[in-house]
Amino acid sequence: MKVWSFRPMTSPLNTSPFNLAAFCLAENAARHPDKTALVLTDGAHDLLLSYGELDLAVRRLAAGLSALGLPTGARVMIRRGNDLFYVLSFFACIGAGLVALPSSSQLTEEEADFLAADSGAAAVICSGGLTAHGATIIDDAELARLAAFPPRAYAATAPDDPAYLIYTSGTASRPKGVLHAQRVILGRAPMLDHWLGLTGADIMLHAGAINWTYTLGVGLMDPFSRGATAVIYNGPADPGVWPALIRRFSATLFAAVPGVYRQMLRQPSCTAENLASLRHGLTAGEALAPALQAQFRERCGKPLYEALGMSEISTYISSGPTVPPPAGSPGKPQPGRKVVILPLEGGETPLAPGESGLIAVHRSDPGLMLRYWNRPEAEAEVFRGDWFVGGDVAEMDPDGYVWLHGRADDLMNAQGYRVSPAEVEAVLSHAPGVADVAVAERRVREDVSVICAFIVTAPGAALDEQALARHCAEHLAAYKNPKQYLALKSLPRTKNGKIARRLLPQLWTPGGNPKAADQI
Protein backbone atom coordinates (compact mmCIF):
# COMPACT_ATOMS: atom_id res chain seq x y z
CA MET A 1 0.00 0.00 0.00
CA LYS A 2 1.33 3.45 -0.88
CA VAL A 3 0.01 6.67 0.63
CA TRP A 4 2.09 9.48 -0.82
CA SER A 5 2.24 12.01 1.99
CA PHE A 6 4.97 14.40 3.06
CA ARG A 7 5.20 17.19 5.59
CA PRO A 8 1.83 18.69 6.59
CA MET A 9 0.87 21.95 4.94
CA THR A 10 1.14 25.00 7.12
CA SER A 11 -2.17 26.85 7.16
CA PRO A 12 -4.20 29.07 9.47
CA LEU A 13 -7.26 26.85 9.12
CA ASN A 14 -7.91 27.09 12.83
CA THR A 15 -7.83 30.88 12.77
CA SER A 16 -10.29 33.53 11.70
CA PRO A 17 -10.69 35.77 9.86
CA PHE A 18 -9.09 34.71 6.59
CA ASN A 19 -9.84 36.23 3.18
CA LEU A 20 -8.36 35.01 -0.10
CA ALA A 21 -8.21 38.46 -1.70
CA ALA A 22 -6.52 39.97 1.34
CA PHE A 23 -4.01 37.10 1.41
CA CYS A 24 -3.06 37.79 -2.22
CA LEU A 25 -2.99 41.59 -2.14
CA ALA A 26 -2.94 43.30 1.26
CA GLU A 27 0.46 42.16 2.52
CA ASN A 28 2.14 42.78 -0.83
CA ALA A 29 0.60 46.25 -0.99
CA ALA A 30 2.01 47.00 2.45
CA ARG A 31 5.48 45.54 1.86
CA HIS A 32 6.21 46.69 -1.70
CA PRO A 33 3.38 48.94 -2.96
CA ASP A 34 5.28 50.11 -6.04
CA LYS A 35 6.19 46.68 -7.38
CA THR A 36 4.36 45.69 -10.58
CA ALA A 37 1.66 43.17 -9.75
CA LEU A 38 -0.27 42.91 -13.01
CA VAL A 39 0.40 43.56 -16.68
CA LEU A 40 -2.42 43.36 -19.22
CA THR A 41 -1.19 43.58 -22.80
CA ASP A 42 -2.63 43.24 -26.28
CA GLY A 43 0.85 42.99 -27.73
CA ALA A 44 1.06 46.68 -28.57
CA HIS A 45 -0.33 48.48 -25.53
CA ASP A 46 0.33 47.61 -21.90
CA LEU A 47 -1.62 48.36 -18.73
CA LEU A 48 0.47 48.03 -15.56
CA LEU A 49 -0.76 48.09 -11.96
CA SER A 50 1.45 48.03 -8.91
CA TYR A 51 0.46 46.07 -5.81
CA GLY A 52 -0.57 49.31 -4.14
CA GLU A 53 -2.75 50.30 -7.10
CA LEU A 54 -4.27 46.85 -7.50
CA ASP A 55 -5.07 46.53 -3.80
CA LEU A 56 -6.70 49.96 -3.77
CA ALA A 57 -8.73 49.29 -6.94
CA VAL A 58 -9.99 45.96 -5.56
CA ARG A 59 -11.01 47.50 -2.23
CA ARG A 60 -12.80 50.37 -4.01
CA LEU A 61 -14.82 47.98 -6.15
CA ALA A 62 -15.48 45.77 -3.12
CA ALA A 63 -16.95 48.81 -1.39
CA GLY A 64 -19.12 49.57 -4.41
CA LEU A 65 -20.40 46.00 -4.58
CA SER A 66 -21.12 46.07 -0.85
CA ALA A 67 -23.17 49.24 -1.35
CA LEU A 68 -25.57 47.27 -3.55
CA GLY A 69 -26.86 45.60 -0.40
CA LEU A 70 -26.19 42.06 -1.57
CA PRO A 71 -26.16 39.57 1.32
CA THR A 72 -22.92 37.91 2.39
CA GLY A 73 -22.31 34.85 0.23
CA ALA A 74 -24.44 36.10 -2.68
CA ARG A 75 -23.20 34.81 -6.03
CA VAL A 76 -21.96 37.39 -8.54
CA MET A 77 -21.38 36.09 -12.04
CA ILE A 78 -18.61 37.63 -14.16
CA ARG A 79 -19.09 37.56 -17.93
CA ARG A 80 -16.34 39.58 -19.58
CA GLY A 81 -13.30 39.23 -21.81
CA ASN A 82 -9.66 39.27 -20.63
CA ASP A 83 -9.75 42.80 -19.22
CA LEU A 84 -8.80 44.64 -16.05
CA PHE A 85 -12.34 44.67 -14.69
CA TYR A 86 -12.43 40.87 -14.86
CA VAL A 87 -9.44 40.70 -12.53
CA LEU A 88 -10.78 43.44 -10.25
CA SER A 89 -14.27 41.91 -10.14
CA PHE A 90 -13.02 38.46 -9.17
CA PHE A 91 -10.96 39.69 -6.23
CA ALA A 92 -13.43 42.43 -5.24
CA CYS A 93 -16.31 39.96 -4.95
CA ILE A 94 -14.21 37.75 -2.68
CA GLY A 95 -12.90 40.77 -0.80
CA ALA A 96 -16.47 41.91 -0.12
CA GLY A 97 -17.58 38.54 1.23
CA LEU A 98 -19.50 37.68 -1.93
CA VAL A 99 -19.00 34.56 -4.06
CA ALA A 100 -17.38 35.20 -7.45
CA LEU A 101 -18.68 33.10 -10.35
CA PRO A 102 -16.19 33.37 -13.24
CA SER A 103 -17.63 32.47 -16.64
CA SER A 104 -16.45 32.47 -20.22
CA SER A 105 -17.31 35.24 -22.66
CA GLN A 106 -17.66 32.43 -25.23
CA LEU A 107 -20.78 31.06 -23.55
CA THR A 108 -24.01 31.38 -25.48
CA GLU A 109 -26.92 33.25 -23.91
CA GLU A 110 -28.54 29.91 -23.17
CA GLU A 111 -25.47 28.64 -21.32
CA ALA A 112 -25.00 31.91 -19.43
CA ASP A 113 -28.66 31.94 -18.41
CA PHE A 114 -28.31 28.41 -17.04
CA LEU A 115 -25.31 29.37 -14.90
CA ALA A 116 -27.09 32.46 -13.56
CA ALA A 117 -30.25 30.48 -12.76
CA ASP A 118 -28.55 27.40 -11.32
CA SER A 119 -26.27 29.46 -9.07
CA GLY A 120 -29.03 31.87 -8.06
CA ALA A 121 -26.74 34.73 -9.08
CA ALA A 122 -27.82 38.04 -7.56
CA ALA A 123 -25.86 40.08 -10.10
CA VAL A 124 -23.94 39.63 -13.34
CA ILE A 125 -20.94 41.80 -14.21
CA CYS A 126 -21.01 42.05 -18.01
CA SER A 127 -19.26 43.82 -20.86
CA GLY A 128 -19.74 44.37 -24.57
CA GLY A 129 -23.48 43.72 -24.60
CA LEU A 130 -23.16 40.36 -22.82
CA THR A 131 -26.01 39.60 -20.43
CA ALA A 132 -27.59 36.85 -18.35
CA HIS A 133 -31.26 36.83 -17.47
CA GLY A 134 -32.71 36.65 -13.97
CA ALA A 135 -30.13 38.80 -12.20
CA THR A 136 -29.17 42.45 -11.84
CA ILE A 137 -26.91 43.47 -14.71
CA ILE A 138 -23.80 45.47 -13.86
CA ASP A 139 -22.63 46.92 -17.17
CA ASP A 140 -19.48 48.93 -17.87
CA ALA A 141 -21.01 52.24 -16.80
CA GLU A 142 -22.35 50.86 -13.52
CA LEU A 143 -19.09 49.03 -12.89
CA ALA A 144 -17.14 52.27 -13.31
CA ARG A 145 -19.45 53.92 -10.78
CA LEU A 146 -18.99 51.12 -8.26
CA ALA A 147 -15.22 51.19 -8.76
CA ALA A 148 -15.07 54.82 -7.61
CA PHE A 149 -16.30 54.19 -4.05
CA PRO A 150 -14.03 54.94 -1.09
CA PRO A 151 -12.06 51.75 -0.31
CA ARG A 152 -13.31 49.32 2.31
CA ALA A 153 -11.44 46.78 4.41
CA TYR A 154 -11.45 43.19 3.26
CA ALA A 155 -14.35 41.16 4.61
CA ALA A 156 -13.65 39.23 7.81
CA THR A 157 -14.49 35.87 6.26
CA ALA A 158 -13.53 32.55 7.83
CA PRO A 159 -11.26 29.98 6.10
CA ASP A 160 -14.19 27.69 5.28
CA ASP A 161 -16.47 30.46 3.99
CA PRO A 162 -17.16 30.24 0.23
CA ALA A 163 -14.98 32.37 -2.06
CA TYR A 164 -15.79 31.39 -5.66
CA LEU A 165 -17.94 29.03 -7.67
CA ILE A 166 -16.65 27.33 -10.83
CA TYR A 167 -18.85 25.40 -13.27
CA THR A 168 -17.35 22.30 -14.81
CA SER A 169 -18.58 19.59 -17.15
CA GLY A 170 -19.59 16.29 -15.64
CA THR A 171 -21.23 13.19 -17.01
CA ALA A 172 -24.66 14.88 -16.90
CA SER A 173 -26.08 17.07 -19.66
CA ARG A 174 -25.52 20.27 -17.67
CA PRO A 175 -22.37 21.62 -15.97
CA LYS A 176 -22.18 21.44 -12.18
CA GLY A 177 -20.93 24.10 -9.82
CA VAL A 178 -17.79 23.50 -7.75
CA LEU A 179 -17.74 25.69 -4.64
CA HIS A 180 -14.34 26.66 -3.23
CA ALA A 181 -13.51 28.13 0.18
CA GLN A 182 -11.32 31.09 1.12
CA ARG A 183 -8.71 28.54 2.27
CA VAL A 184 -8.23 27.24 -1.29
CA ILE A 185 -5.30 29.64 -1.73
CA LEU A 186 -3.51 27.76 1.06
CA GLY A 187 -4.18 24.47 -0.67
CA ARG A 188 -2.25 25.79 -3.66
CA ALA A 189 0.97 26.10 -1.63
CA PRO A 190 2.47 22.68 -2.61
CA MET A 191 2.35 23.49 -6.31
CA LEU A 192 4.16 26.82 -5.89
CA ASP A 193 7.43 25.13 -4.97
CA HIS A 194 7.10 21.73 -6.56
CA TRP A 195 5.47 22.50 -9.93
CA LEU A 196 5.86 26.22 -10.59
CA GLY A 197 9.07 26.81 -8.67
CA LEU A 198 7.59 30.26 -8.02
CA THR A 199 9.31 33.07 -6.11
CA GLY A 200 8.57 36.75 -5.61
CA ALA A 201 11.16 37.61 -8.26
CA ASP A 202 9.29 35.77 -11.03
CA ILE A 203 7.33 37.16 -13.96
CA MET A 204 4.53 34.72 -14.85
CA LEU A 205 3.02 34.86 -18.35
CA HIS A 206 -0.17 32.84 -18.77
CA ALA A 207 -1.72 32.06 -22.17
CA GLY A 208 -5.28 31.34 -20.98
CA ALA A 209 -8.55 33.21 -20.61
CA ILE A 210 -9.06 34.71 -17.16
CA ASN A 211 -12.26 32.77 -16.49
CA TRP A 212 -10.44 29.41 -16.64
CA THR A 213 -9.37 27.95 -13.27
CA TYR A 214 -5.91 27.31 -14.74
CA THR A 215 -5.51 31.03 -15.46
CA LEU A 216 -7.19 32.27 -12.29
CA GLY A 217 -4.94 30.04 -10.22
CA VAL A 218 -1.56 29.82 -11.94
CA GLY A 219 -1.84 33.10 -13.85
CA LEU A 220 -3.15 35.34 -11.04
CA MET A 221 -3.64 33.91 -7.56
CA ASP A 222 -0.30 32.11 -7.41
CA PRO A 223 1.88 35.05 -8.52
CA PHE A 224 -0.01 37.39 -6.17
CA SER A 225 0.36 34.99 -3.25
CA ARG A 226 4.15 35.10 -3.69
CA GLY A 227 4.45 38.80 -4.57
CA ALA A 228 5.46 38.01 -8.17
CA THR A 229 4.31 39.74 -11.39
CA ALA A 230 1.44 38.35 -13.49
CA VAL A 231 1.25 39.03 -17.24
CA ILE A 232 -2.02 38.34 -19.09
CA TYR A 233 -2.50 38.70 -22.85
CA ASN A 234 -5.78 40.12 -24.17
CA GLY A 235 -4.99 40.70 -27.84
CA PRO A 236 -6.03 38.80 -30.96
CA ALA A 237 -5.27 35.09 -31.22
CA ASP A 238 -1.75 34.68 -32.60
CA PRO A 239 0.53 31.71 -31.85
CA GLY A 240 3.53 33.87 -32.71
CA VAL A 241 2.85 36.32 -29.91
CA TRP A 242 4.14 34.14 -27.06
CA PRO A 243 7.88 34.15 -27.86
CA ALA A 244 7.65 37.91 -28.41
CA LEU A 245 5.90 38.47 -25.07
CA ILE A 246 8.34 36.23 -23.21
CA ARG A 247 11.22 38.26 -24.57
CA ARG A 248 9.54 41.64 -24.15
CA PHE A 249 8.59 41.15 -20.50
CA SER A 250 11.55 38.90 -19.59
CA ALA A 251 9.05 36.29 -18.42
CA THR A 252 10.66 33.66 -16.22
CA LEU A 253 7.65 31.28 -16.24
CA PHE A 254 5.17 30.56 -19.03
CA ALA A 255 1.96 28.55 -18.52
CA ALA A 256 -0.23 27.13 -21.28
CA VAL A 257 -1.88 23.98 -22.56
CA PRO A 258 0.27 21.64 -24.68
CA GLY A 259 -1.48 22.85 -27.84
CA VAL A 260 -0.03 26.33 -27.37
CA TYR A 261 3.48 24.89 -27.19
CA ARG A 262 2.83 22.91 -30.39
CA GLN A 263 1.79 26.13 -32.14
CA MET A 264 4.79 28.01 -30.72
CA LEU A 265 7.23 25.46 -32.07
CA ARG A 266 5.93 26.12 -35.59
CA GLN A 267 6.96 29.77 -35.29
CA PRO A 268 10.43 30.87 -36.48
CA SER A 269 10.51 33.23 -33.47
CA CYS A 270 10.43 30.30 -31.02
CA THR A 271 14.17 30.26 -30.38
CA ALA A 272 16.45 29.81 -27.41
CA GLU A 273 17.42 33.47 -27.78
CA ASN A 274 13.84 34.76 -27.51
CA LEU A 275 13.11 32.44 -24.60
CA ALA A 276 16.39 33.17 -22.80
CA SER A 277 14.67 34.67 -19.73
CA LEU A 278 12.43 31.62 -19.31
CA ARG A 279 13.40 29.20 -16.54
CA HIS A 280 10.87 26.57 -17.60
CA GLY A 281 7.43 26.12 -19.14
CA LEU A 282 4.31 24.80 -17.39
CA THR A 283 1.60 22.63 -18.95
CA ALA A 284 -1.77 21.42 -17.73
CA GLY A 285 -5.25 20.80 -19.07
CA GLU A 286 -4.36 17.82 -21.26
CA ALA A 287 -1.65 15.17 -21.37
CA LEU A 288 1.80 16.30 -22.46
CA ALA A 289 3.12 14.15 -25.30
CA PRO A 290 6.71 12.99 -24.68
CA ALA A 291 7.63 14.04 -28.23
CA LEU A 292 6.47 17.60 -27.59
CA GLN A 293 8.34 17.68 -24.29
CA ALA A 294 11.55 16.57 -26.02
CA GLN A 295 11.09 18.91 -28.98
CA PHE A 296 10.66 21.96 -26.76
CA ARG A 297 13.76 21.15 -24.74
CA GLU A 298 15.78 20.53 -27.91
CA ARG A 299 14.66 23.77 -29.58
CA CYS A 300 14.63 26.12 -26.59
CA GLY A 301 16.86 24.41 -24.05
CA LYS A 302 14.14 24.63 -21.38
CA PRO A 303 12.16 21.89 -19.60
CA LEU A 304 8.38 21.59 -19.62
CA TYR A 305 6.82 20.63 -16.31
CA GLU A 306 3.41 18.96 -16.45
CA ALA A 307 0.63 18.89 -13.87
CA LEU A 308 -2.56 16.89 -13.46
CA GLY A 309 -5.54 18.55 -11.83
CA MET A 310 -9.26 19.12 -11.84
CA SER A 311 -11.66 21.92 -10.97
CA GLU A 312 -12.35 20.34 -7.58
CA ILE A 313 -8.76 20.67 -6.33
CA SER A 314 -6.67 22.31 -9.08
CA THR A 315 -3.34 20.55 -9.71
CA TYR A 316 -2.16 17.97 -7.20
CA ILE A 317 0.21 15.77 -9.21
CA SER A 318 3.12 17.32 -11.09
CA SER A 319 6.72 17.28 -12.16
CA GLY A 320 8.85 20.33 -11.48
CA PRO A 321 12.11 21.69 -10.10
CA THR A 322 12.05 19.13 -7.27
CA VAL A 323 10.58 16.25 -9.32
CA PRO A 324 12.35 15.24 -12.57
CA PRO A 325 9.79 14.77 -15.38
CA PRO A 326 9.87 11.24 -16.82
CA ALA A 327 8.40 11.01 -20.33
CA GLY A 328 4.78 9.89 -20.20
CA SER A 329 4.07 10.62 -16.53
CA PRO A 330 2.60 13.87 -15.15
CA GLY A 331 4.82 13.40 -12.09
CA LYS A 332 4.27 12.67 -8.39
CA PRO A 333 1.72 13.87 -5.83
CA GLN A 334 2.90 17.26 -4.61
CA PRO A 335 4.57 17.23 -1.19
CA GLY A 336 2.03 17.93 1.52
CA ARG A 337 -0.80 16.14 -0.29
CA LYS A 338 -2.23 12.77 0.64
CA VAL A 339 -2.89 10.85 -2.59
CA VAL A 340 -3.63 7.15 -3.13
CA ILE A 341 -4.93 4.79 -5.80
CA LEU A 342 -8.27 3.17 -4.84
CA PRO A 343 -9.92 0.14 -6.47
CA LEU A 344 -12.19 0.84 -9.44
CA GLU A 345 -14.96 -1.29 -7.97
CA GLY A 346 -15.08 0.60 -4.66
CA GLY A 347 -13.59 0.55 -1.19
CA GLU A 348 -11.22 2.75 0.81
CA THR A 349 -8.16 0.50 0.96
CA PRO A 350 -5.32 1.93 -1.18
CA LEU A 351 -3.85 -0.32 -3.83
CA ALA A 352 -0.24 -1.46 -3.91
CA PRO A 353 2.28 0.15 -6.30
CA GLY A 354 1.74 -0.97 -9.87
CA GLU A 355 -1.98 -1.71 -9.43
CA SER A 356 -4.43 0.27 -11.55
CA GLY A 357 -7.35 2.14 -10.01
CA LEU A 358 -8.79 5.60 -9.40
CA ILE A 359 -6.70 8.49 -8.10
CA ALA A 360 -8.03 9.76 -4.77
CA VAL A 361 -7.17 12.78 -2.60
CA HIS A 362 -7.79 13.01 1.13
CA ARG A 363 -10.70 15.26 2.05
CA SER A 364 -8.49 17.14 4.58
CA ASP A 365 -6.62 18.85 1.74
CA PRO A 366 -7.32 22.62 2.08
CA GLY A 367 -7.36 22.92 -1.71
CA LEU A 368 -10.32 20.57 -2.05
CA MET A 369 -13.72 22.03 -2.86
CA LEU A 370 -16.30 22.68 -0.18
CA ARG A 371 -18.99 20.87 -2.17
CA TYR A 372 -20.86 20.70 -5.44
CA TRP A 373 -23.48 23.42 -5.75
CA ASN A 374 -26.92 21.89 -5.12
CA ARG A 375 -25.74 18.49 -6.41
CA PRO A 376 -25.76 16.18 -3.36
CA GLU A 377 -26.11 13.10 -5.56
CA ALA A 378 -23.00 14.05 -7.55
CA GLU A 379 -21.13 14.73 -4.31
CA ALA A 380 -22.05 11.30 -2.95
CA GLU A 381 -20.55 9.70 -6.05
CA VAL A 382 -17.09 11.24 -5.61
CA PHE A 383 -16.50 10.65 -1.89
CA ARG A 384 -15.53 7.34 -0.33
CA GLY A 385 -15.18 7.95 3.38
CA ASP A 386 -12.23 10.32 3.77
CA TRP A 387 -11.27 10.18 0.09
CA PHE A 388 -12.29 12.35 -2.85
CA VAL A 389 -12.23 10.14 -5.95
CA GLY A 390 -11.84 11.76 -9.36
CA GLY A 391 -12.34 10.01 -12.67
CA ASP A 392 -8.69 9.46 -13.64
CA VAL A 393 -7.55 5.85 -13.84
CA ALA A 394 -3.88 5.39 -13.06
CA GLU A 395 -1.23 3.42 -11.22
CA MET A 396 1.53 4.68 -8.93
CA ASP A 397 4.96 3.11 -9.22
CA PRO A 398 7.25 2.37 -6.23
CA ASP A 399 8.97 5.75 -6.67
CA GLY A 400 5.67 7.61 -6.43
CA TYR A 401 5.29 8.52 -10.10
CA VAL A 402 1.74 8.38 -11.46
CA TRP A 403 1.03 6.74 -14.82
CA LEU A 404 -2.34 7.56 -16.36
CA HIS A 405 -4.52 4.99 -18.12
CA GLY A 406 -7.44 7.24 -19.12
CA ARG A 407 -10.77 8.24 -17.64
CA ALA A 408 -13.31 6.08 -15.85
CA ASP A 409 -16.08 8.30 -17.25
CA ASP A 410 -16.74 9.63 -20.74
CA LEU A 411 -15.48 13.19 -20.32
CA MET A 412 -13.71 14.57 -23.39
CA ASN A 413 -10.81 17.00 -23.55
CA ALA A 414 -11.22 20.03 -25.81
CA GLN A 415 -8.38 22.58 -25.83
CA GLY A 416 -7.70 21.75 -22.19
CA TYR A 417 -11.36 22.02 -21.14
CA ARG A 418 -13.22 18.94 -20.03
CA VAL A 419 -16.47 18.59 -21.94
CA SER A 420 -19.37 16.25 -21.23
CA PRO A 421 -20.57 14.20 -24.23
CA ALA A 422 -24.05 14.28 -22.72
CA GLU A 423 -24.12 18.09 -22.85
CA VAL A 424 -23.20 18.17 -26.56
CA GLU A 425 -25.54 15.27 -27.36
CA ALA A 426 -28.44 17.03 -25.64
CA VAL A 427 -27.96 20.04 -27.94
CA LEU A 428 -27.54 18.01 -31.13
CA SER A 429 -30.57 15.85 -30.35
CA HIS A 430 -32.75 18.92 -30.97
CA ALA A 431 -31.11 19.80 -34.29
CA PRO A 432 -33.28 19.38 -37.42
CA GLY A 433 -32.78 16.07 -39.18
CA VAL A 434 -31.15 14.28 -36.23
CA ALA A 435 -32.78 11.04 -35.11
CA ASP A 436 -29.99 9.81 -32.84
CA VAL A 437 -26.58 11.14 -31.85
CA ALA A 438 -23.47 10.23 -29.91
CA VAL A 439 -20.35 12.30 -29.30
CA ALA A 440 -16.82 11.13 -28.55
CA GLU A 441 -13.24 12.33 -28.55
CA ARG A 442 -11.17 11.06 -31.49
CA ARG A 443 -7.39 11.19 -31.69
CA VAL A 444 -6.32 12.64 -35.05
CA ARG A 445 -2.61 12.71 -34.19
CA GLU A 446 -0.51 11.27 -31.41
CA ASP A 447 -0.88 14.53 -29.46
CA VAL A 448 -4.13 16.00 -30.83
CA SER A 449 -7.75 14.97 -30.17
CA VAL A 450 -10.97 16.53 -31.46
CA ILE A 451 -14.64 16.21 -30.57
CA CYS A 452 -16.59 14.22 -33.15
CA ALA A 453 -20.35 13.82 -33.55
CA PHE A 454 -21.83 10.59 -34.89
CA ILE A 455 -25.26 11.26 -36.36
CA VAL A 456 -28.14 8.98 -37.30
CA THR A 457 -30.28 11.14 -39.57
CA ALA A 458 -34.07 11.17 -39.56
CA PRO A 459 -35.86 9.37 -42.44
CA GLY A 460 -35.49 11.41 -45.60
CA ALA A 461 -32.89 13.76 -44.10
CA ALA A 462 -29.24 14.07 -45.12
CA LEU A 463 -26.26 14.99 -42.97
CA ASP A 464 -25.84 18.76 -43.20
CA GLU A 465 -22.58 19.56 -41.41
CA GLN A 466 -22.91 23.32 -41.83
CA ALA A 467 -26.43 23.36 -40.38
CA LEU A 468 -25.33 21.19 -37.45
CA ALA A 469 -22.32 23.42 -36.82
CA ARG A 470 -24.57 26.52 -36.83
CA HIS A 471 -26.96 24.83 -34.39
CA CYS A 472 -24.13 23.96 -32.01
CA ALA A 473 -22.72 27.48 -32.26
CA GLU A 474 -26.09 28.88 -31.16
CA HIS A 475 -26.27 26.71 -28.04
CA LEU A 476 -22.70 25.83 -27.00
CA ALA A 477 -19.46 27.64 -26.30
CA ALA A 478 -17.06 27.35 -29.24
CA TYR A 479 -14.70 24.92 -27.49
CA LYS A 480 -17.56 22.46 -26.97
CA ASN A 481 -18.52 22.33 -30.67
CA PRO A 482 -17.74 19.14 -32.61
CA LYS A 483 -15.01 19.57 -35.21
CA GLN A 484 -16.13 16.62 -37.33
CA TYR A 485 -19.42 14.90 -38.15
CA LEU A 486 -20.10 11.39 -39.44
CA ALA A 487 -23.38 9.86 -40.56
CA LEU A 488 -24.14 6.34 -39.30
CA LYS A 489 -27.04 4.02 -39.98
CA SER A 490 -27.17 3.22 -36.28
CA LEU A 491 -25.14 3.84 -33.15
CA PRO A 492 -23.09 1.05 -31.56
CA ARG A 493 -24.68 0.01 -28.28
CA THR A 494 -24.02 -2.46 -25.52
CA LYS A 495 -26.40 -5.30 -24.71
CA ASN A 496 -28.17 -3.12 -22.14
CA GLY A 497 -28.75 -0.40 -24.71
CA LYS A 498 -26.08 2.11 -23.67
CA ILE A 499 -23.95 3.81 -26.30
CA ALA A 500 -20.67 1.91 -26.71
CA ARG A 501 -18.69 5.13 -26.77
CA ARG A 502 -15.31 3.42 -26.90
CA LEU A 503 -16.21 1.97 -30.34
CA LEU A 504 -17.19 5.29 -31.93
CA PRO A 505 -13.70 6.47 -32.96
CA GLN A 506 -13.15 3.13 -34.70
CA LEU A 507 -16.12 3.84 -36.98
CA TRP A 508 -14.66 7.02 -38.42
CA THR A 509 -13.06 5.42 -41.48
CA PRO A 510 -15.56 5.46 -44.37
CA GLY A 511 -16.79 1.94 -44.92
CA GLY A 512 -16.79 1.10 -41.23
CA ASN A 513 -19.48 -1.31 -40.11
CA PRO A 514 -21.60 0.19 -37.34
CA LYS A 515 -24.12 -2.62 -37.60
CA ALA A 516 -21.48 -5.09 -36.49
CA ALA A 517 -20.86 -2.94 -33.43
CA ASP A 518 -24.52 -3.27 -32.48
CA GLN A 519 -23.91 -6.92 -31.69
CA ILE A 520 -21.56 -6.38 -28.72
Under CATH, which architecture does the 412-517 domain have? 2-Layer Sandwich (3.30)
d(CA 40, CA 32): 20
Most confident stretch, 152-156, 236-240, 418-422, 482-486: 152-156
Average pLDDT rounded to a whole number, residues 313-324: 94
What pLDDT score does 5 carry? 33
Say whether pLDDT at 294 is over 80. Answer: yes
**Exposed/middle/buried for residue 216 (C-beta within 10 Å: 0-12, 13-18, 19+):** buried
**Exposed/middle/buried for residue 378 (C-beta within 10 Å: 0-12, 13-18, 19+):** middle
- Among residues 185, 219, 221, 225, the alpha carbon closest in space to that of 204 is found at 219
Question: Each residue of 353-371: pLDDT tens digit?
Answer: 999 899 999 999 999 999 9
Say whether pLDDT at 15 is over 70. Answer: no
Say whether pLDDT at 216 is over 90. Answer: yes
- Tell me which of 7-16, 26-35, 46-55, 242-251 is least confident: 7-16
What pLDDT score does 172 carry? 60
Cβ distance 282 to 255 under 8 Å? yes
d(CA 101, CA 124): 9
Average pLDDT rounded to a whole number, residues 193-204: 97
**Whole-number Cα distances in Å, 475 to 108, 113, 114, 174, 191:** 6, 11, 11, 12, 36
d(CA 428, CA 482): 10
Average pLDDT rounded to a whole number, residues 90-97: 98
Angle at 76 between CA 71 and CA 79, to 5 degrees: 165
- The H-assigned helical ranges of 138-218 are 140-146, 184-187, 189-191, 213-214
Question: Each residue of 124-157: pLDDT tens digit?
Answer: 999 988 888 889 999 999 999 999 999 999 999 9
What is the 3-state secondary structure of 364-420? CCCCCCCEECCCHHHHHHHEECCEEEEEEEEEECCCCCEEEEEECCCCEEECCEEEC
Q: Which helix (H) or strand (E) holds 484?
A: strand 484-487
- Whole-structure pTM value: 0.82
Residue 421 gets the label, from left (phi > 0), alpha (psi -120 to 50) or beta, of alpha
Cα 1 vs. chain centroid, distance in angstroms?
31
Say whether pLDDT at 422 is over 90. Answer: no
Q: How confident is the model at residue 173 (pLDDT cuts 50, 70, 90)?
A: low
Angle at 82 between CA 184 and CA 235, to 5 degrees: 140
> What residues does each domain of the chain span?
412-517
